[in-house]
Each structure stands twice: as structure tokens, then as C-alpha cells.
Amino acid sequence: MFRIQKKKAGAKARRSLGGNIIIFGIIALLGVFSAFPFIFALITSFKPINELLQFPPRLIVRRPTFDNYESLFQIASNMWVPLTRYIFNTVIVAVLGTVFHVLFASMAAYPLAKHKFPGKKALFSIIVMALMFVPQVTFIPQFILMANLKLVNTYGALILPWIGASLGLFLMKQFIEQLPDAILEASRIDGANEFRTFFQIVLPNCIPAVMTVVIFQFVNLWNYAPKELIYSESLKVFKMALEQIAASDPIARMGAGAAASVILMIPPIIIFVLLQRKVVETMTFAGIK
């Protein structure tokens, strides 16, 4: 009897190990598939011009070279506006746009989630419908609005349209709804006003949602290139500068364009990796139970 039970336990352990191997194999395959665009862009950036023009393109580089990166920085050093200026503009837009969006989205989500007022459902329905529209749909009305506000060709034209993005508001509202009402009532009984309740009770307990919104918003702003709103060369962002470098001579500068695409990918990937760990940590140890 003991031997039979031992055999069953061993078979179950083997099945569990085999199942784990299959699951981890599938996860690893999906991970490689998800990372393939970045891997392919990285490999392409080390290809010489003759391998870049091969069709069909090959994944393996026969003669890897750093000439593409050297060419990119050489072109950038000869530009009228220094490359550091484009990077500075991008950092300013991405950081300020992300900070203000998180602040305003969370402050707007709090009454939508925890207060009752006329038109609440209709307002939230408009926010949900706004999620269906891609940013390109709003280019014309956005330009008209920025022109009437005299913000065209300013940092405001780059930052203000993203402060009211609907995705962050939707995510924050859905997360704040999970907070127990008893915590908010206890805060009000202790004499805290709505602003103190929000900044000391609501916002600290919404760190996972905040980090998620930061990831989405930063990636969107880092890759934002509003050609219709910015004309001054000193106000253009990093992506616009890299596009100009690659577009000025598409064949000769194909390698520089490949190197530029890799450089453009690096900051969002770093932000995603760092904040993803924070999201998992806060979800595990600081969630509301």
C-alpha cells in the first residue's frame, strides 16, 4: 500500500515538473516573440549598408559594425541645433506631461469614483467613448484650440493636450473604486478635508495604478512628434530630430536611422522595467485587503 502511494506521488511530481517545463517554455517563447522587434532593431543597427539593403532581410549580422552609431552622432554634431537640446525638450515634455497627467487624472478620478453628483454617469460614459479614438482624430481640433490659445510653437502645445488623456483617468477611477469607503469615512471623522483625504489616504493607496499610468504616459510622450504644432527647431523633440536625420537621405542614412530607432527605444524600456517591478511590489505588499 505504501509503495502504491509512493508511486502515485512520484508520478504526480513528474507530471507537475513536466507541466511546469511546458508552461515556462511557452512563457519564454512568448517573451522572445514580444522582444523580437527590439532585438531585430538592435541587430539591424549593427549591419553595414550592403546588409541593410539585402532582401529578404537576415537576422544574423555577418560583419557587425559601429559605423551606424558613429554616423548618427557625426550628423547630429553638425546640426544647427545641438542634439542635447532635442533630448532636453523631450525630457521636459515627457516628465512634466506625465506628472501633471497623473495629478489631474487622479484628482478627477476621485470624485467620479467616491462621490455622487448630477451627470456623473454621463460624464464617465464620455470618458469611456474617448478611449475609442486614436490621437490622429484630434489633430485638427487640437491645432485649432492651441492656435486660439496662442500656444502653437510652445511647450504648452506639447504638454497640455496630454494632461487630459482619458486612459489615465479611466484607470485611476477603476482603481479608486476598490478602496473601502470605511477608510475615507474615518478620515472625514478625524476632521480631514477632501484634499487631505485625497493626498494622504487615496493617493498613497493607489501607487500601483499611478505607476501603471506613468508607464503608459511616459512612453506616449517620449514617442510624441507633433509636427503640426512645433515649427521652431529649438523646440522640436528628440524623435523629430531623428526622423529628420533619417529622412534627409533615406538610402545613405539608413544605418543612422536604424541606430536612431534603437536609441529612441531605450528610455521607455528602462522606465517600463523599473516601474513594472514597483507595480508588482506594491500590488503584493501594499494592496488593499
Q: Is 236 helix (H, G, I), strand (E, B) or coil?
A: coil
Domain that holds residue 265: 79-285
Whether residues 264 and 208 share a domain: the answer is yes
More confident residue, 10 or 21: 21
What total number of domains does the chain contain? 2
Regarding predicted confidence, which is higher, 100 or 271?
Answer: 100
Using a cut of 0.85, tell me whether the model's pTM lies above it: no
User: Is residue 187 classed as helix, strand or coil in its secondary structure?
Assistant: helix
> Distance between CA atoms of 132 and 16, rounded to whole angstroms?
43
Rounded to an integer, the average pLDDT of 212-236 is 82
- The verdict on residue 235 lying in a domain is yes
Q: Is residue 210 included in any domain, yes or no? A: yes
Q: Using the predicted structure, report yes or no on whether residue 58 has a pLDDT greater than 70.
A: yes
User: In the structure grid, which three cell numbers stand for residue 24, read together?
Assistant: 515556462
Q: With contact defined as beta carbons under 8 Å apart, do 164 and 104 qualify? A: yes
Q: What pLDDT does 100 receive?
A: 92
86 has a pLDDT exceeding 80: yes
Query: From CA 204, how far away is CA 57, in angstroms rounded?
Result: 49
**6 in any annotated domain:** yes
**Cβ-contact 255, 68 below 8 angstroms:** yes
CATH number of the domain enclosing 202: 1.10.3720.10
- pLDDT tops 70 at residue 23: yes
pLDDT in tens, 154-185: 888 888 888 888 888 888 888 888 888 888 88
Residue 243 CA, chain-centre distance (Å), reads 20
Same domain, 103 and 196: yes
61 occurs within a structural domain: no
In this structure, the answer to whether residues 191 and 126 fall within a common structural domain is: yes
Tell me what pLDDT residue 120 has. Answer: 82
Q: Exposed, middle or buried by CB within 10 Å (0-12, 13-18, 19+), for 87?
A: middle
First-last CA distance in the chain: 44
Tell whether 73 is covered by a domain: no
Query: What is the pLDDT, as a whole number, of residue 6?
Result: 47
On whether both 32 and 152 belong to a single domain, the answer is: no
- Quick one: 29 and 156 in the same domain? no
| Span 26-50, pLDDT tens digits | 888 887 787 777 787 787 777 777 7
User: Could you tell me if 30 and 89 lie in one domain?
Assistant: no
Q: What is the pLDDT of residue 67?
A: 75
- DSSP single-letter state for residue 205: G
Q: Is residue 70 assigned to a domain?
A: no
Q: CB-hemisphere CA count at 13 Å for 108?
A: 19
pLDDT at 286: 42
